[in-house]
Amino acid sequence: MVATVLIVDDDPVIQRLLRVNFEMEGYEVIVGVDGIDGLEKARAEHPDIVVLDIMMPRMSGLDVAKALKADPETASIPVVLLSAKAQEADLRAGDESGADDYLTKPFDPFQLLQRVEQLLAG
């Protein structure tokens, strides 16, 4: 079975990088361009996993993660946060959002793929 990844990032370069990396590994990819778009796509498409940037227009990745985890329809979808913010308070905010993992930018695409595979494996 092919897993579906929802990538939510407002940076077209990051979107493209992530799309190519996931598609090369056989994943189906959906892209959201900001927090609200990502939340709507997660609710409509029910991806297997969501990879979220934190700093985005209209709705932050932290707020998207909280909304996904608070909704019984999407609460079981694993969420990985990506952020340039690496302070202890930022990591704590990521944890408090209900996200399953947190990677700091710049990130290693191979490491992200490994984390996604681990979360999907349960």
Is 122 domain-assigned?
A: no
Residue 53: CATH number of its domain: 3.40.50.2300
3-state helix vs strand vs coil in the chain, percent to 5: 45, 20, 35
Residue 121 lies in a domain: no
Q: Is residue 72 part of a domain?
A: yes
User: Does 69 fall in a domain?
Assistant: yes
Could you read off the pLDDT of 17-65 as tens digits, one per residue?
Answer: 999 999 999 999 999 999 999 999 999 999 999 999 999 999 999 999 9
Token pair 């959906």 is found at 30
- pTM for the predicted model, two decimal places: 0.94
Which H or E run includes 37?
Answer: helix 35-45
DSSP element (H, E) containing 80: strand 79-83
β-partners of residue 29 are: 5
Residue 75 lies in a domain: yes
Q: Contact, 9 vs 82, CB < 8 A?
A: yes
pLDDT single digits (tens) 58-100: 999 999 999 999 999 999 999 999 988 777 787 788 888 999 9
Residue 110 is part of which domain span?
4-116
Tally the domains of the chain: 1
